[in-house]
Amino acid sequence: MTAEQTTATWLDPAAIAATLAEAGREDKGRIREILAKAALLGGLDATDVAVLSQVRDPDLVAELFHTAERAKTEIYGQRIVLFAPLYFSNICTNECVYCAFRRSNRDLVRKILTLEEIAAEAAALIDQGHKRVLLIGGEAFPKDGFRYILDAISTIYGVKRERGEIRRINVNLAPLSTDEFRLLKGAGIGTYQLFQETYDRELYGRVHVDGRKADFDWRATAIDRAMNAGIDDVGLGVLFGLGDWRFEMLALMQHISHLEDVFGVGCHTISVPRMEPAVGSEMASHPPHPVSDDDFKKIVAVLRLAVPYTGLIMSTRETAEMRRATFALGVSQISGGSRTNPGGYATPEDEDAAQFERGDHRDLDAVVRDIAEGGRIPSFCTACYRMGRTGHDFMDLARPGLIREMCGPNGLSSFAEYLLDYGSEETRAAGDRAIDAEIASMEPRIRRYSETMVAKVRAGKRDVFR
Ligand code: SAM
Ligand code: SF4
């Protein structure tokens, strides 16, 4: 265990400014050298990230995207992991000016789910075919306090339906104390996610005006507490649109380097939320530093190359078109069929309680079909987490490229299971075609056990993984 960190001493804005200045203007030769280095899949340093963030020339942008696409395919194959957010509450004691859930917003219908309602949400998600949920909500718990979250987790794991169950619960929760993180770990969570929103202290202070979240350092040191408590799969993120994205990317790199230095492993995932309109928030419709679609794609491509083995998550904030474009550039996980209002799956008509406007309104079946029609493999696999392959163990597996050996076949068998148990006729046809094409493209050894695993599922066996 490392000593408790109470200040984000690793964050060095002056160094970020110097790196950005040193990266200077677009230099074709230097950019191509960095892309050649990135193609070796060993990751990039902060200066490389700063240089790639300056790319504007259309030919160089195309080279950046091409390199990212090759890295994505080399490491992840065609898999896209699917999950659904489960909002337990939209009540919050904080005042984040961009969020509909903030305490002073009177334009929102408030709701905190009972454990029975959480079970109903889990059942509705299982019946759509989901196996992974992200438990998420405002920073306020009912009278049982933090115990409520632990009870919510065991409630969700306890819901068994005829055709399935939730096999992995990730959480996106306000920062906790080390003791609370220990309890969270004990409850069997997968990844603990927390977005810093912005690493710019001054801006952070202006947009988080009240409540516990106003304390920048309490948030910026939360991942240290989580890791000290034994949670080794952690997810970072920035709310793009708040601060200058080039600054945020370098700050994110500093955060990751700090985790690698102290804990020997960086983050398991990075999320790339972009600010969306939200009920009762003027700022959400007019972000201080809007990120264009072109820059957003660059962010995904540069992150893919900077931390090639870290999952990149995109939510339903983005449109179907943007999600499709970024699969190729590096996104490895997406939410599907999502609702951002508590109770939204069991009672879908109640949208007045939502956190932000969704860009993608399609149901899970349509999202899955679209992915398969694009020649990719929607994956519902949760094997690593259940086999204890987390943190260092996952990275040991990932670095030499074994991820494709394990995750490729596991993705296929979990997709075959989804198609048989939940897929519409049209989706099943598209999915079977994608499975056949993926198997045909595999090297003989991996192909053999992929075929065996898919055949087992088609013969009636469930939860087949290695
Ligand atoms: N309340 C906890 C917190 O703030 O960390 C966890 C849940 S909060 C609902 C999850 C994330 O939603 C926040 O970290 C923020 O990045 C994102 N968010 C808030 N308002 C948003 C908006 N208008 N558009 C897109 N994302 C938003
Ligand atoms: Fe509350 Fe999180 Fe929304 Fe801030 S972002 S108001 S903490 S739910």
Helices (H), 39-167: 46-53, 58-76, 115-128, 147-158
Residue 423, token pair as written in the block: 């897929």
Rounded to an integer, the average pLDDT of 400-411 is 77
| Residues near 78 by beta carbon (within 8 Å), at least 6 away in sequence | 375, 376, 377, 434, 438
What phi, psi does 113 have (nearest 5°)?
A: -75, 145
Rounded to an integer, the average pLDDT of 100-104 is 96
Rounded to an integer, the average pLDDT of 105-131 is 95
Would you place residue 464 in the very low, low, confident or very high pLDDT band (cuts 50, 70, 90)?
confident
At residue 350, the pLDDT reads 61
Cα dist. 444→405, 440, 448, 456 in Å? 11, 9, 6, 18
Would you place residue 142 in the very low, low, confident or very high pLDDT band (cuts 50, 70, 90)?
confident
Rounded to 10 degrees, what is the CA torsion of 391, 394, 397, 399?
-60
> How far is ligand 2, taken at its centre, from the CA of residue 340, in Å?
13
Does pLDDT of 10 surpass 70?
yes
At residue 104, the pLDDT reads 96
> How far is ligand 1, taken at its centre, from the CA of residue 310, in Å?
21
d(C-alpha 147, C-alpha 127), whole Å: 27
Rounded to an integer, the average pLDDT of 355-367 is 79
Does pLDDT of 120 surpass 70?
yes
pLDDT in tens, 150-183: 999 999 999 999 989 999 999 999 999 999 999 9
Cα dist. 256→29, 195, 361, 379 in Å? 28, 13, 33, 26
Does pLDDT of 407 surpass 90?
no
Q: Which domains does the chain have, with CATH numbers?
A: 80-360 (3.20.20.70), 392-459 (no CATH)
> How far is ligand 2, taken at its centre, from the CA of residue 234, in Å?
19
At residue 401, the pLDDT reads 60
Rounded to an integer, the average pLDDT of 409-431 is 96
Does pLDDT of 52 surpass 90?
yes
Residue 93, token pair as written in the block: 């004691």
**Is residue 197 within 6 Å of ligand 1 at its C-beta?**
yes
At residue 8, the pLDDT reads 96
Place of tokens 């590096």: 330
**Is residue 223 within 6 Å of ligand 2 at its C-beta?**
no
pLDDT in tens, 240-291: 999 999 999 999 999 999 999 999 999 999 999 999 999 999 999 999 999 9
Would you place residue 51 in the very low, low, confident or very high pLDDT band (cuts 50, 70, 90)?
very high
- Write b or e for each residue in 326-362: b if 16 or more Cβ atoms lie within 10 A of its Cβ, otherwise e: bbbbbbbbbbbbbbbbbbbbbeeeeeebbbbbbbbeb
> How far is ligand 1, taken at its centre, from the CA of residue 316, in Å?
13
Which residue, by CA, sits nearest to atom 6 of ligand 2?
102
Nearest Cα to Cα of residue 72 among 324, 330, 400: 330
**Is residue 208 within 6 Å of ligand 2 at its C-beta?**
no
pLDDT in tens, 174-232: 999 999 999 999 999 999 999 999 999 999 999 999 999 999 999 999 999 999 999 98
d(C-alpha 31, C-alpha 42), whole Å: 16
Give the ipTM of the model, two decimals please.
0.99
Would you place residue 352 in the very low, low, confident or very high pLDDT band (cuts 50, 70, 90)?
low
Q: How many CB atoms lie within 10 A of CB 173?
A: 23
Does pLDDT of 351 surpass 70?
no
Tell me the average pLDDT of the chain. Answer: 92
Rounded to 10 deg, the angle between the 13-23 and 245-263 helix axes is: 120
**Is residue 197 within 6 Å of ligand 2 at its C-beta?**
no
d(C-alpha 395, C-alpha 240), whole Å: 27
